[in-house]
């Protein structure tokens, strides 16, 4: 099942817990694990699920609302689920504007970035594809992964 968001969805809050729409100037965080997402210091394509882009949303934290304790709990919980592939972790940091600048050959934006805060994490945001074909989703994923080049420890993000 595909999502029901459009580019217009970015202009209104999508959650009753939202601190507001995601601004272009905001920094975003994506939790990554090695070797599940990173191999030989490179983020691999499967670090972003096609299904996330198509329907579930690629989960992020908005750094200005992020809570270090919540992210630490998420790290521990996710490592417990898959210790073999989640040996170490880092946070990719990138700005919202970079996500919104990803366009196709016709200069149409390829990604939708919405605030979908949840009660226990008002920093939550999600990225969805603005297209649905499998080949197109793979191309979009490659472009998005390029934004994951700046990676930091949680201590360096919250110092």
The string of pLDDT tens digits covering residues 78-131 is 999 999 999 999 999 999 999 999 999 999 999 999 999 999 999 999 999 999
Q: What is the pLDDT of residues 24-40, one digit of tens each?
A: 999 999 999 999 999 99
The reply to whether 50 falls in a domain is yes
DSSP 9-33: GGGS-SSTT-SSPPPTT-EEEEEEE
Residue 83 maps to a domain: yes
Pair 25, 92: CB distance under 8 Å: no
Cβ neighbourhood burial of 14 (10 Å; 0-12, 13-18, 19+): middle
Residue 14: its pLDDT value, please?
Answer: 94
Counting the structural domains of the chain, the total is: 1
Q: What is each CA distance from 78 to 9, 15, 32, in whole angstroms?
A: 29, 24, 10
Neighbours of 27 (CB within 10 A): 15
Decide which of 58 and 3 is more confident: 58
Q: Identify whether 91 is part of a domain.
A: yes
Q: What's the average model confidence in pLDDT over 125-151?
A: 96
- Whether 59 is covered by a domain: the verdict is yes
- 2 is a domain residue: no
Would you call 68 helix, strand, or coil by DSSP? helix
| Residue 1: inside a domain | no
Query: Rounded to an integer, what is the distance from CA 92 to the centroid of its chain?
Result: 9
Give residue for tokens 């459009």.
6
pLDDT number for residue 69: 97
Q: Identify whether 86 is part of a domain.
A: yes
* Degrees, nearest 5: CA angle 140-29-100: 40
Show the domain range for 96.
7-157
Q: Quick one: pLDDT at residue 2? A: 82
Integer Cα distance of 24 and 19 in angstroms: 15
């Amino acid at each position: 099942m595909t999502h029901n968001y459009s580019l217009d969805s970015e202009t209104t809050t999508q959650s009753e817990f939202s601190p507001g729409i995601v601004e272009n100037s905001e920094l975003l965080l994506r939790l990554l694990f090695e070797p599940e997402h990173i191999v030989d210091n490179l983020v691999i394509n499967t670090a972003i699920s096609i299904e996330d882009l198509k329907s579930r949303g690629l989960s992020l934290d908005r750094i200005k609302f992020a809570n270090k304790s919540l992210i630490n709990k998420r790290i521990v919980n996710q490592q417990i689920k898959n210790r073999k592939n989640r040996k170490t972790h880092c946070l990719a940091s990138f700005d919202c504007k970079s996500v919104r600048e990803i366009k196709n050959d016709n200069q149409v934006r390829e990604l939708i970035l919405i605030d979908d805060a949840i009660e226990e994490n008002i920093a939550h945001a999600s990225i969805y594809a603005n297209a649905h074909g499998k080949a197109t989703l793979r191309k979009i994923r490659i472009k998005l992964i390029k934004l994951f080049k700046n990676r930091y420890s949680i201590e360096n993000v919250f110092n």
